[in-house]
Structure 1
Amino acid sequence: MLDRRSILKMAAGGAMLAIVPSAQLQAKTPGKRLAMVFDVRRCTGCLSCTVSCAMENQTEAGRGRTRVNQACIEQGDSFATLAVPNQCNQCDNPACVYVCPVEATYKREEDGIVVIDHEECIHCQLCVDACPYGARRKDETLETPPEKCNFCIHRVSAGLLPACVETCIGEARSFGDLNDPKSKVSQLVRDNKVYAMLSESGTKPNIFYIGLPEQADDQEILSLNFLEWQR
C-alpha cells in the first residue's frame, strides 16, 4: 500500500527532471552503448521485473537488483499513481567506479555496462554509499559483494534480453544499443521527451524515462516507497 505521507508534491525548488536532448543521446561513441528506457505510462507495477530479476540472478531477499518505486502525484483535485522503476543507471561517469579501492567495479569499454568483479571485490561496500541512485544493495555482514543490475550480462552476451525486459507484461522496458539507429531504444529517445534522473550530478546515466511529469523532483522519486515481492 502506498503511504499517503509519501505523496510526491509538485513542489517548487529541488532537483527537477531534465529533458535529455535526443541529439546528445544519439551521439556516436566507440563500441556499443547499451541502455534501457522505462516508459512509466505502460508500467503497471506488477513486479514481474523484480521477480524475474531475483530468480535469474539468485539474489538474496531484500537485495534485489531492480525496484519499482510508487509515486502518488497530485494533479489538481485528484491524484495519479505512477510506478517508477529504479536500478543501476550504468553511468558513463560512474561514482561507484571511482571509490572502489581495488578497481573491482569497472565500466566495460565494449558496451558500457558497469560490472562488479566478485573475485576482486573486498566487500567494503564503499560503492553503495557512493551511488546517488541508491541502486546497490549492501551486504550488512560484509561477507559478499553488493548486488547491482548488470543488464543480465550473461544473457546479453548470449544474444538474449535482460530478464526484466523479457518478462515485462506492459512492455514498459526497452533495451538496446543507443549507437544503433535501428534499435528500439534509439527510436524511443529520438521520438519522445526523454528524462534522466539526477542529470545535474554529472553521472551521465544510461537509464532513461518517458512519461514522467516535467515538474517532478527526481530526488524525491528515488527516495519514495518501493514494493518488495514476497518469496
Structure 2
Amino acid sequence: MTQQPQHTKTKRYGMVIDLDKCTGCGACMVACYAENNVPFRQDESDKMRSLNWIRVMKVDNGKPFPDTQVCYIPMPCMQCDGQHMEGHSPCVSVCPAVATDYDQTTGIVSQIYTRCFGCRYCMAACPYHARKFNWWDPKWPADMEKYLNPDVSARMRGVVEKCSFCYHRYQKARDKAYVEGREELHEDEYQTACAQACPTNAIAFGDLHNPEHAVYSLSRSKTAFRLLERLNTNPKVYYLSSKSWVRRKADNYLEGENPEQIREKARKAAATH
C-alpha cells in the first residue's frame, strides 16, 4: 500500500457520536439493515446469530441504585487509519485475498465480497468485533425482495461482512457532482443511513479534514474520545461524553491503571518501531 502524495487533496470521512444524546433506541441498526440489504433470521431472539453491521452496546458505571448510570454506545466499523496513519489497519494488514482494502482518497476500509473466501483472519484481527461472518444464504419473506436496495449487492454465505459507511451513497454523490462539474461534495450530499435515521441527531458524519463539516470541530472537542486508543489503530469514529466514567471505560482500563501513563508507554513503543 502506497502513501498518498502530499500534494494530493484527500478526504477522511469519519463519524462523531454524542453518547449523551443516544437513547439506545436502535433506529441506526434498523436503518443499516434496510439500506445495506443485511439479511435477518426468522428467529432473531438468539442475538449471537444475528448479522449486523452496527451494534448498540450498553454499559453502566458499576454502581448500585440510585447511583446507577447507563450509557449506550453505537459501534459501526471504526474505519481504522492504522498505527502510522497510512491505512494499515489490523484487518487490511492480515487479509490474504485483498478482500478488504483502504481507500486512500476517502479513508474508508472496503470489503470486496467476491474476493473473500471466509478465512476470518480479519475478524480475529479486529479489536472492535466490527466484522461478521455470514453463515447462511440470505433469505427474505415472500415479496420482501422488493424492499432490497438495488445499489447494494446481496452477499452469499461464507463471506465476512462489515459497515462501509454506506459507500454506495458516496459513489452516487460523486457521480452527481461530476455531472454538475464539481469536485467537492457538500456535507449533506453524502450521509450514512444511520446518521440520517437517528431521532436525536446523536450521529454526525462528514469529512474530518474539512473545517466546514460538523465532524471537524466535534472530533476536536474536549469531551471527544475513541475506543481502545492505546492500541494505536487510529479509528475514524469519535465519541462525545461529558461523563468521565464513560471515557475511562472506552479504553477498557483495569482498576488502578493510569490511562495517561499507558498512553505514554504506547506512544514510546510506537516510536521505537
TM-score by length of 1: 0.77
Is 1:170 matched with 2:192?
A: no
Are 1:218 and 2:250 matched, yes or no? yes
Partner residue, 1:36:
15
Deviations 1:197-219 (A, max 9, x none): 11111211101110063343225
In the other structure, the counterpart of 1:91 is 80
Shift of 1:73: 1.7
Can you give the 5+ residue segments of structure 1 that lack an aligned partner in the other structure?
Answer: 1-27, 222-231
Residue of structure 1 equivalent to 2:216: 186
Q: Which moved more, 1:139-148 or 1:84-93?
A: 139-148
Q: Does residue 117 in structure 1 map to residue 130 in structure 2?
A: no
Change (3 A) 1:138 1:29: farther
Q: Distance in 1 between matches of 2:33 and 2:8?
A: 32
| Counterpart residue number, 2:25 | 46
Pair 1:57 & 2:36 matched: yes
1:138-157 pair list within 5 angstroms? 138-140=133-135, 143-157=157-171
Structure 1 vs Structure 2 CA RMSD: 2.2
Matched, 1:81 2:76: no
CA distance in 1, matches of 2:118, 2:157: 6
Show CA shifts across 1:74-121 (max 9, x none). 468511111111121000011000110011110101100001111211
> What SS does the aligned partner of 2:72 have?
strand
Larger Cα Rg: Structure 1 or Structure 2? Answer: 2
Larger helix proportion of the pair: 2
Counterpart-to-counterpart distance in 1, 2:194 and 2:240: 17
| Greater strand content | 1
> Secondary structure of 2:206's match?
strand
What is the aligned-residue identity percentage?
33
Paired residue type of 1:65: W
3-state SS of 1:197 partner: coil
Greater CA drift, 112-121 or 142-151: 142-151
Unaligned 5+ segments in structure 2 are 1-6, 41-49, 83-88, 137-155, 174-189, 254-273
Match of 1:158 among 172, 180, 189: 172
